Amino acid sequence: MIRVVIGHRGKLVRGALAVVLSRESDLNVVAEFENAEEVLQGSNAGPEVLVLDPLLPGEMGIAELCDQLGGHAVLMLIERDDGGSISLALSVVKHSSKVGVIGTDVSPDDLVDAVREVAEGRPVFDPSLALAALRAPDNPLTDRECEVLRLINTGATAQEVARALNLSAGTIRNYLSRILSKTGARSRIEAIRKAQDAGWI
């Protein structure tokens, strides 16, 4: 029996994935989560495969989450026309020895097969997604700048971000200034949107 955890921002999508996978006699969906921190905690339940949305909400990005998941197998579900998700999915390949990346438009049978393949340690990667990933723009932001932007996206103020990262508020304002410059954004909100669209956070 392959134990599966689902992490997706959409409640309807999570439910649909759980229904499709639970129909198989060799698959058991043990939990469904809506953010990265819940997925990390849920990984303690010992799933063989985590089916994840690369844009999963949370204070940590998907690459950091997968890095902390250790040896768990990960199957990423991404939109084919979403360059940001594709770029994020590629970053996950660097963090997991057991990884799969497929489009959300695959058939239920293909999804089930992908879960089984990844569970057995075989990589699953759609060639058309790989080509799209190669065309995606490089991330100009540093890891720290991405971390600051993710925290700002939670609604935290510069002072709250500073406390969370053990930095001064002035340092955070300097980071935000560099982020605006690098992204060409006129506001924090626009910078967040651009970074999310590009798959940088």
- Name the H helices within the chain: 11-22, 36-42, 62-68, 83-93, 108-119, 127-135, 143-153, 158-165, 169-183, 188-198
For residues 111 and 96, what is the distance between their CA atoms, to the nearest angstrom? Answer: 19
- Domain chopping of the chain, boundaries: 2-135, 143-198
More confident residue, 70 or 56: 56
For residues 125 and 130, what is the distance between their CA atoms, to the nearest angstrom? Answer: 7
* Confidence (pLDDT) at 103: 87
* Confidence (pLDDT) at 67: 80
More confident residue, 43 or 200: 43
* Confidence (pLDDT) at 75: 92
The answer to whether the 2-135 and 143-198 domains have the same CATH topology is: no
- Using a pLDDT cut of 90, give the percent of the chain over it: 43
pLDDT tens digits for 16-51? 999 999 999 999 999 999 998 999 988 887 889 999
More confident residue, 142 or 95: 142
Output the pTM of the full model: 0.68
Q: What is the CATH number of domain 143-198?
A: 1.10.10.10
Q: What is the CATH number of domain 2-135?
A: 3.40.50.2300
